[in-house]
Homo-oligomer: A and B are copies of this chain.
Amino acid sequence: MEVVLSIDIGGTSTKLARVDQDYNVLDTTTIDTTRYTDEQSFFSALYTTVRTLAKSMKDGEEVVGVGIGAPGGIPIDGTILGAANLPFSERVEVVRLFEKEFDWPCFLTKDSYAAALGEGVAGAAVGMSNFVLITLGTGLGCGIVVDGQVVHGHTGQAGEIGHTISVENGRECNCGRRGCLETYVSASGICRTAFELMATRKQCSLLRTVPFNQLTAKMVFDAALQQDELAQEVFLRTGHTLGDKLAELVTIVEPEAIILAGGLTNAGAFLTEPAAERMEEQLLKSLRGKTQIMLSNLKVNEAALIGAAAFAWQNLKNVSVCQS
């Protein structure tokens, strides 16, 4: 049986697995990315783990390629533009390095593009050929699928909706600009909104005892569950900001569904209801009621792994993997 080695490089951990053509995740290993401080040590550890994973194959399994998803991954040239939270900040030619080290063809894509493919082949978007995946975690990632293919853009950087402006002259963003969607709709955005509301209002809240650097989105969610009105208002505002942007996105690419994934989606209806309501309100009449907002149904650890494998299969077999 043919399998691909799938690798999901992340700032905290890097996951590896063998994945078959039916997108079964056969075996998973994890590397602690934070243990490595430079490119060489990280890739050296990665190669060792890849070899171990390849050796642990069952009889009859045959590795036919490698699929990699990574933040800052550029599918067009197989490089990673080192992100702030990776052990390298310079551009690394990952595909070239891998193909020098191993005999398998290697395919690399951005983590959010991989996650979109994962939803398309094994998640909430199975059977759809036009959809958008948005991951809500520390940041906000996005993969847009049109006619069964992820939109890469001219230089492989499409889908950076987290860095479109939500509020003119708004919050400072890691990218050096102000008011990006990601500074409002993300785990840290939730915390910033909570402190903004505490500053503006005199309303009681469970969150008033927590210092800024200790507050987490989960605490805000837990407070919301305990009927803390300020915490609930935080999710309402976050949902509205997301909904405004989703309306723009629907007006531009008109997907069948928008799949939300990532840690923040644990908030469920606290986030999705105001987002869906605001999105519908903000749409042209002819576009209303045509795009569903859905939650991912893949395991958090598996979505990008499956998607990176799907990207490899797509290239190995030269087929579109997302189809209606």
Contacts and interface: CB of A to CB of B under 8 A. Distances in A.
Contacts of A165: 244, 247-248, 282
Contacts of A236: none
Interface stretch (A116-124, A286-294, A299-307): A286-294
A251 B161 contact: yes
A253 B158 contact: yes
Interface residues of A, number: 40
Contacts of A247: 164-165
A255 interface: yes
Interface in A154-189: 154-161, 163-165, 175-177
A199 interface: no
A185 B62 CA distance: 57
A146 interface: yes
Contacts of A164: 247-248, 251-252
Contact of A154 (B159, B163, B254): B254
Given A165-B248, A248-B248, A253 B153 contact: yes
A284 interface: yes
A155 B287 CA distance: 9
A286 B287 CA distance: 32
Contact of A144 (B175, B253, B285, B287): B253
A259 to B, nearest CB: 14
A163 B252 CA distance: 9
Contacts of A252: 144, 158-161, 164, 249, 252-253
Contacts of A253: 144, 151, 153, 158, 252-253
Contacts of A81: 286
